[in-house]
Amino acid sequence: MSDKKLNAGRRKVLKTLSGIGVASLMGGFGLGSAWAASKKVKMGFIYVGPRDDYGYNQSHFEGKSSLSKLDWVKAVDEENVPETIEVVKTMESMINLDGAQVLFPTSFGYFDPHILKVAKKYPDVTFLHCGGLWSESKHPKNVGSYFGYIDEPMYLAGVVAGHMSKTGKLGYIAAIPIPQVLRNINSFTLGARSVNPAITTNVVFTGGWSKPVKEAESANSMADQGVDVLTCHVDSPKVVIQTAEKRGIYSVGYHTNQAVLAPKGFLTGGEWNWSKVYSDYAEMIKTGKKIPNLVRGGLKEGIVKLSPYGKAVSAKAKADADARLKKFMDGSMVVYKGPIKDNTGKVVIPAGKSYTQTDIWLESMGWMVEGVIGTTKG
């Protein structure tokens, strides 16, 4: 109940600000005067997995590493920190021993209860969480969240996949059926079916963010079933991309650029562009600007990007995807435009209705579009 009310509140705020799209300012918080006094901006980054996983954690590590260009920033980081009391201790350690002024604990599971607990204890430190879970009515003012509409590049990747697939069967290996994952699957499939309405996407949920054995098994079984473009949403796409390459089929990357893992079959992929996000934050702290509690954006705002096309991609596919990229960049592209049916035949978005990227309704997505083969139930 309270959640509904809350969503309505957020939707209203987001609507009024969606003209700009990015950096929706909600509340905002200032910087303690002590910060201005210290010479360097001290930032701490925490990852749930290894820095070099070719995936989610690496994308954040690359973002953090880009800060080394700025000599007035001191950034420290820690990898393989579980979503338990250990992340609480890591945050406290960064605050107490490294004097971190702003922390970026990047895993979803860090937020509740860990970040919320530490944030209450250290009101002068800013906690920015990747994932967009912050809400003004429930959470402390020194907490914020940032996230990107990565389903936009996945939509474009779907367009490319639609052009390149000969069998008309695409494969999606995903961790667990949560809204964020389903949105990527849906956008990817909508992109592909906009090219060829007969295309289907096979989905396998592995049940966890890092299950390399299951990922490899699923990739192989999909290749056996005639899937000829494979993509994924797991913490590290490495196994899926490598397996696709070994089986001689195309692959679409996720999180970071995986072209090196599949020089022959890599088409393109959806990437985060955290270096921009993190240097923007650093700049805000340096100049003493208020940090918005909620930052979101897509291709247009530069928070996500499309991986450079692999050499297998045809000129026609490139031209089509580029044309739509242009529409994303000028803001005229709407992915979720009715009529859209889910894969049980129910109309979820009626004709004439459309949901723009910033619409909060899309963030509780529990369905998969027509053409997706699979179910969100176990």
Partner 1 sequence: MFKVFESLLIPIAALVLSLVLFSVFMWFSGTNAFDVLGAIYRGAFGSWFSWQNTLVRSAPLMLTALCTALPARIGLINIGGEGAMVVGGVFATLVGISISGMSPFIVISAMVLAGMVTAGMWIGMVGALKHLRNVNETISSLLLNYIAIAIMSYLVLGPMRDPATLNNPSSFHIGMANMIGNIGESSIHGGLIFGLVVCIALWVLMRYTTFGFSVDVIGGNIRAAQISGLPVGKLILITCFIGGAAAGIAGVIEVAAVQGRANLSLNSGYGYAGILVAFLARHNPLAIIPVAILLGGIRASSGLLQRGFDLPDATTTVLQGIIFIVILASEFMYGRIKWLQPRVTAHA
Torsion of CA 133, 137, 140, 143, to 10 degrees: 30
Helix (H/G/I), strand (E/B), else coil: 306: strand
Answer yes or no whether residue 137 interacts with partner 1 by CB under 8 A. no
306 near 157, Cβ under 8 Å?
yes
Answer yes or no whether residue 378 interacts with partner 1 by CB under 8 A. yes
Kindly identify the residues of this chain, within the stretch 195-234, that bind partner 1 according to CB under 8 A.
Answer: 207-209
Nearer to partner 1, 153 or 177 (CB): 177
Instruction: Classify residue 68 by its DSSP letter.
Output: G
Helix (H/G/I), strand (E/B), else coil: 363: helix
Nearer to partner 1, 98 or 342 (CB): 98
Angle at 258 between CA 257 and CA 259, to 5 degrees: 95
Nearer to partner 1, 51 or 169 (CB): 51
| Member of 41, 133, 204, 219 binding partner 1 (CB under 8 A) | 133
Length of the chain: 378
Nearer to partner 1, 16 or 80 (CB): 80
Nearer to partner 1, 43 or 229 (CB): 43
Backbone torsions φ then ψ of 318, nearest 5 degrees = -60, -45
Answer yes or no whether residue 59 interacts with partner 1 by CB under 8 A. no
> How is 163-220 classified by DSSP, letter by letter?
HH-SSSEEEEEES---HHHHHHHHHHHHHHHHH-TT-EEEEEE-SSS--HHHHHHHHH
Nearer to partner 1, 67 or 267 (CB): 67
What is the smallest separation between the CB atom of 168 and partner 1, expressed in angstroms?
Answer: 30
Nearer to partner 1, 77 or 301 (CB): 77
Strand-pairing partners, residue 340, are: 349
What is the smallest separation between the CB atom of 83 and partner 1, expressed in angstroms?
Answer: 4
Answer yes or no whether residue 63 interacts with partner 1 by CB under 8 A. no
Kindly identify the residues of this chain, within the stretch 236-255, that bind partner 1 according to CB under 8 A.
Answer: none
Answer yes or no whether residue 312 interacts with partner 1 by CB under 8 A. no
**Stretches 108-116, 194-202, 227-235, 299-307: which one binds partner 1 (CB under 8 A)?**
108-116
Answer yes or no whether residue 377 interacts with partner 1 by CB under 8 A. yes
What is the smallest separation between the CB atom of 45 and partner 1, expressed in angstroms?
Answer: 10
Backbone torsions φ then ψ of 170, nearest 5 degrees = -110, 155
| Member of 196, 354, 364, 375 binding partner 1 (CB under 8 A) | 364
Strand-pairing partners, residue 174, are: 205, 233
Nearer to partner 1, 42 or 163 (CB): 42
What is the smallest separation between the CB atom of 273 and partner 1, expressed in angstroms?
Answer: 20
Answer yes or no whether residue 177 interacts with partner 1 by CB under 8 A. yes
> Could you tell me where the beta strands, DSSP code E, fall in the chain?
41-46, 73-78, 102-105, 126-130, 143-148, 169-174, 200-205, 229-233, 250-255, 266-272, 294-297, 304-306, 336-337, 340-341, 347-349, 354-355, 372-373
The first and second tokens of residue 262, run together, are 């599949």
Q: Which residues bind partner 1 (CB under 8 A)?
A: 3, 44, 50-51, 76-86, 88-90, 92-94, 96-98, 108-109, 111-113, 131, 133, 176-180, 207-209, 363-364, 377-378
